[in-house]
């Protein structure tokens, strides 16, 4: 049993949380979304500066909400990869400093491992093996989780990540950043059958199609062509119907791949992680398909789907419970394969 304070600054959320295994004792998330919105995406330098400005206050608030004091904390963790290097450096430097001053072990955490463990925060009984469908702004992966630090990536995307596709299509439709929540909202009032769109498949050299890999570039181009055609006809753009048709296509595509993968590998549990797990279309499709195949599907509450530090603290406590500790010389990495996670620890 361990209590971990974790810091997450890999992208545009400054977050600090204190977690006891799977129990969240405090969680603070300060989002920079409004700051980056005018640019239509995250500006790395702006993100790093805001992390510096916000982090001390977030740490203070997390400690106040926790109320247990430093004596009760067993370790200090921070996301160290993958992500924006300057942004990661802010959180990792702060965590290392706190670990040194307070004489606690330091743990670097892989951001995607955090998303995998988000399900643990609401599912105290969930244990590996299970399949994790990780769908965020930067990743679309199907990961076989065999144990702490034991991951196998079975599927990924050949081009855009699912969240990135939502953000880019939203931009095509003149909607605000980030696109996922806006499209999700519009999709609720639109008709998903208005525009049939291509799901996007990845061909195999030997013929046929990949059962787990996704591709969203064709779908994005199809939406672009549709918008150009409709604008050419000088009609008012049926934005809600386009949003609903696009969302339904993405949800069907992700559901098909996740179910294929779970059935092929004999995994009866699917845990969802990442910002796109918040998507109502994906939730509906996946829940219905899982029921049909007698599979169990776990969707964390929305606050644990998007970036937060509680999931990072949960991953860190899984490692700390097994005696995994990172050296204070650990460096941040913009990219790091999930299979290399154990290299973060001594
Ligand atoms: O996991 P996350 O917070 O950050 C990354 O690590 O990338 O995911 C952010 C992504 C964005 O692309 C955003 O548009 C998408 O998650 N997203 C959604 C929804 N809420 C957030 N996508 C679809 N439907 C949503 N409701
Ligand atoms: Zn994330």
Question: Per residue in 86-116, pLDDT tens?
Answer: 999 999 999 999 999 999 999 999 999 999 9
Strand order in the sheet with 140-147: 150-155, 140-147, 130-135, 269-273, 296-298
Determine if residue 234 is left, alpha or beta; phi over 0 gives left, psi from -120 to 50 gives alpha, anything else beta. left
Percent of the chain with pLDDT strictly greater than 70: 100
pLDDT at residue number 2: 93
pLDDT at residue number 85: 95
DSSP 195: S
**How many angstroms from the chain centroid is the CA of residue 15?**
14
For residue 178, pLDDT over 90 is answered with no
SS3 content of the chain, % helix, strand, coil (to 5): 50, 20, 35
Q: Which atom of ligand 1 is nearest to the CA of 274?
A: 1
Is any ligand 1 atom within 6 A of the Cβ of residue 137? yes
Euclidean distance between CA atoms 96 and 73, whole angstroms: 14
Say if CB 31 and CB 12 are below 8 A apart. Answer: yes
Q: Separation of 221 CA from ligand 1 center, angstroms? A: 20
Q: What is the pTM of this model?
A: 0.93
Tens of pLDDT, residues 218-254: 999 999 999 999 988 877 899 999 999 999 999 999 9
**How many angstroms from the chain centroid is the CA of residue 313?**
15
Residue among 133, 161, 136, 113 at smallest CA distance from 296: 133
Say if CB 26 and CB 62 are below 8 A apart. Answer: yes
Buried b (16+ CB within 10 A) or exposed e, 178-196: bbbbbbbebbeebebeebe
pLDDT at residue number 242: 97
Q: What residue has token string 């430097």? A: 93
Rounded to 5°, the CA angle 325-326-330 comes to 180
Query: E strand or H helix at 208, and its extent?
Result: none
pLDDT at residue number 232: 86
pLDDT at residue number 161: 93
Is any ligand 1 atom within 6 A of the Cβ of residue 13? no
Q: Separation of 205 CA from ligand 2 center, angstroms? A: 32
pLDDT at residue number 107: 98
Is any ligand 1 atom within 6 A of the Cβ of residue 241? no
pLDDT band at 32 (very low <50, low <70, confident <90, very high): confident
pLDDT band at 79 (very low <50, low <70, confident <90, very high): very high
Euclidean distance between CA atoms 87 and 46, whole angstroms: 9
Contacts of 36 (CB under 8 A, 6+ apart): 12, 42, 43, 46, 47, 177
pLDDT band at 1 (very low <50, low <70, confident <90, very high): confident
Rounded to 5°, the CA angle 149-153-157 comes to 140
Tens of pLDDT, residues 6-24: 999 998 889 999 999 999 9
Say if CB 263 and CB 211 are below 8 A apart. Answer: no
Q: 3-state DSSP call for residue 149?
A: coil
CA-CA distances (angstroms) from residue 157 to 37, 102, 172, 212, 264?
Answer: 25, 42, 21, 9, 19
Q: 3-state DSSP call for residue 131?
A: strand
**How many angstroms from the chain centroid is the CA of residue 171?**
21
Task: Report the CATH fold assignment for 128-301.
Answer: Nucleotidyltransferase; domain 5 (3.30.420)
pLDDT at residue number 177: 84
For residue 193, pLDDT over 90 is answered with yes
Q: 3-state DSSP call for residue 291?
A: helix
- Residue ranges of the chain assigned to CATH 3.30.420.40: 3-115+305-344, 128-301
How many residues in the chain?
A: 346
Task: Taking residues 140-169, report their average pLDDT.
Answer: 95
CATH superfamily label, 3-115+305-344:
ATPase, nucleotide binding domain (3.30.420.40)
For residue 41, pLDDT over 80 is answered with no
pLDDT at residue number 116: 95
Of 231 and 76, more confident: 76
Is any ligand 1 atom within 6 A of the Cβ of residue 114? no
Task: Taking residues 167-182, report their average pLDDT.
Answer: 93
For residue 200, pLDDT over 90 is answered with no
For residue 310, pLDDT over 90 is answered with yes
For residue 40, pLDDT over 80 is answered with no
Is any ligand 1 atom within 6 A of the Cβ of residue 275? yes
Which residues neighbour ligand 2 (ion) by CB within 5 Å?
A: 136, 307
């Amino acid at each position: 049993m361990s209590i971990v304070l974790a810091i997450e600054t890999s992208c545009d959320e400054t977050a600090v949380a204190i977690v006891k295994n799977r129990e969240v004792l405090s969680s603070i998330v300060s989002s920079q979304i409004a700051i980056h919105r005018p640019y239509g995406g995250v500006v790395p330098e702006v993100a790093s500066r805001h992390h510096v400005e916000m982090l001390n206050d977030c740490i203070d608030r997390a400690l106040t909400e926790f109320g247990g004091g430093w004596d009760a904390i067993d370790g200090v963790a921070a996301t160290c990869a993958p992500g924006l290097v300057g942004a990661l450096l802010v959180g990792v430097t702060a965590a290392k400093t706190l670990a040194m001053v307070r004489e606690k072990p330091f743990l670097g955490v892989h951001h995607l491992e955090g998303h995998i463990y988000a399900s643990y925060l609401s599912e105290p009984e969930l244990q590996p093996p299970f399949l994790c469908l990780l769908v965020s702004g930067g990743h679309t992966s199907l990961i076989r989780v065999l144990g702490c630090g034991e991951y196998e990536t079975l599927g990924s995307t050949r081009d855009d990540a699912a969240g990135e596709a939502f953000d880019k299509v939203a931009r095509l439709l003149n909607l605000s950043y980030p696109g996922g929540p806006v499209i999700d909202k519009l999709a609720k009032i639109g008709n998903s059958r208005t525009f049939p769109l291509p799901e996007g498949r990845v061909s195999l050299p030997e013929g046929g199609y990949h059962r787990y890999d996704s591709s969203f570039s064709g779908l994005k181009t199809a939406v672009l062509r549709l918008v150009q055609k409709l604008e050419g006809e000088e009609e008012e753009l049926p934005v809600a119907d386009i949003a609903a048709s696009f969302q339904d296509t993405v949800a069907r595509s992700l559901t098909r791949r996740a179910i294929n993968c779970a059935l092929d590998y004999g995994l009866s549990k699917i845990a969802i992680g990442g910002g796109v797990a918040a998507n109502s279309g994906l939730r509906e499709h996946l829940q219905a398909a899982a029921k049909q195949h007698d599979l169990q599907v776990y969707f964390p509450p929305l606050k644990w789907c998007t970036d937060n530090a509680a999931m990072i603290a949960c991953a860190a406590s899984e490692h700390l419970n097994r005696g995994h500790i990172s050296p204070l010389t650990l460096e941040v990495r913009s990219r790091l394969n999930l299979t290399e996670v154990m290299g973060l620890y001594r």
